[in-house]
A and B are shown apart, each in its own frame.
Chain A
Amino acid sequence: MNNPTPAPASGPDGQLAEIWGDVVSRPQLGKAILIGAVVSLAVYAVALATIAPLASTPAIGKALAMLAGIIGCILGGAICARLFQPKRRVVEQIAPGAIWQTEVLDQIAIEGGAIGSVEDLPPAVAQEMREVGLYSVFQDYEQDRARNREAG
Chain B
Amino acid sequence: MDPLLYDILVALGLGLLGAVLFSAIGLISGTDETTTIAPVTLLVVLLGAPPAGVFTFWMCAAISKHMTHAVPTALLGIPGDTMALPLLQQASALRNLGAPHIALRKMLAGSVISAFIAVPLAVLFAVILAPFGTYITASAPWLFIAASVLIAYFSAGRWASVIALVPFTLLIVALQSFTGAHEVKLGVSYFLGIAIGPLVAELISAASPLERKRMNRSEPRETTLAPDVKGWGGYFPNPFRVLDRSQVRATATAAAITSGTFVFSPVAMTVIAGEIVGARIKHAYHRLTSVLAVRNGVTESTYIAEALIPLIAFGLPLSPVAAGPAAPLFNAPPRFTVNSETGVVNNLHTLMSVSEFLIWGLVSVVIATLIAYPFAMNHARSAAAFVAKRISHEAIIATFVGLILVIGLWEGGVIALLVILTVGLVGGLLYRVLGMNTGVQFMGYYAAVLSVPAILKLLG
Question: What is A's interface to B at a CB cutoff of 8 Å?
Answer: 6-9, 15-26, 28-29, 32-33, 35-37, 39-41, 44, 60, 62-67, 69-70, 72-74, 76-78, 80-81, 84-93, 95-96, 100-101, 104-105, 107-109, 111, 113-118, 120-122, 124-125, 128-129, 131-134, 137-138
Partner of A19, one of B46, B206, B409: B206
B405 to chain A: which residues have CB within 8 Å? 37, 40-41
B199 to chain A: which residues have CB within 8 Å? 20
CA distance A16 to B405 in the complex (A): 26
Looking at the assembled complex, report how far the CB atom of B235 sits from the nearest CB atom of chain A, in whole angstroms.
Answer: 20
A-B contacts, 12 listed (Cβ < 8 Å) = A16-B219, A22-B30, A22-B393, A40-B406, A41-B402, A63-B47, A77-B395, A77-B399, A80-B392, A89-B221, A116-B282, A116-B286
A116 to chain B: which residues have CB within 8 Å? 282-284, 286-287
Q: Does B224 contact A (CB under 8 A)?
A: yes
Partner of A81, one of B212, B278, B395, B400: B395
Looking at the assembled complex, report how far the CB atom of A43 sits from the nearest CB atom of chain B, in whole angstroms.
Answer: 8
Q: Which of B18-54 contact A (CB under 8 A)?
A: 29-30, 43, 46-48
CA distance A29 to B386 in the complex (A): 20
Looking at the assembled complex, report how far the CB atom of B174 sits from the nearest CB atom of chain A, in whole angstroms.
Answer: 27
CA distance A87 to B93 in the complex (A): 25
Q: Is the CB of B218 within 8 A of A24?
A: no
Q: Is the CB of B410 within 8 A of A66?
A: yes
Q: Is the CB of B30 within 8 A of A93?
A: no
Whether A129 touches B397, Cβ cut-off 8 Å, given contacts A69-B410, A88-B388, is no
A86 to chain B: which residues have CB within 8 Å? 388-393
Question: What is B's interface to A at a CB cutoff of 8 Å?
Answer: 29-30, 43, 46-48, 89, 93, 96-99, 102, 198-199, 202-203, 206, 212, 215-227, 231, 244-246, 278, 282-288, 385, 388-403, 405-407, 409-410
Q: Is the CB of B403 within 8 A of A40?
A: yes
A87 to chain B: which residues have CB within 8 Å? 220-221, 392-393
Q: Is the CB of A120 within 8 A of B283?
A: yes
Q: Is the CB of A32 within 8 A of B225?
A: no
CA distance A122 to B245 in the complex (A): 10
Q: Is the CB of A89 within 8 A of B220?
A: yes
Looking at the assembled complex, report how far the CB atom of B219 sits from the nearest CB atom of chain A, in whole angstroms.
Answer: 7
Whether A108 touches B397, Cβ cut-off 8 Å, given contacts A16-B219, A44-B409, is no
Interface of B is mostly: helix
Q: Is the CB of B244 within 8 A of A16?
A: no
Q: Is the CB of B410 within 8 A of A44?
A: yes
CA distance A26 to B207 in the complex (A): 10
Looking at the assembled complex, report how far the CB atom of B392 sits from the nearest CB atom of chain A, in whole angstroms.
Answer: 4
Q: Is the CB of B224 within 8 A of A107?
A: no
Q: Is the CB of B403 within 8 A of A73?
A: yes
A122 to chain B: which residues have CB within 8 Å? 244-246
Q: Is the CB of B395 within 8 A of A108?
A: no
Chain B residue, CB-CB nearest to A74: B399
Whether A121 touches B226, Cβ cut-off 8 Å, given contacts A41-B409, A74-B399, A128-B244, is no
B222 to chain A: which residues have CB within 8 Å? 88-89, 91
Chain B residue, CB-CB nearest to A129: B285
Chain B residue, CB-CB nearest to A10: B218
A28 to chain B: which residues have CB within 8 Å? 392, 394
Looking at the assembled complex, report how far the CB atom of B233 sits from the nearest CB atom of chain A, in whole angstroms.
Answer: 14
Partner of A25, one of B394, B399, B401: B394
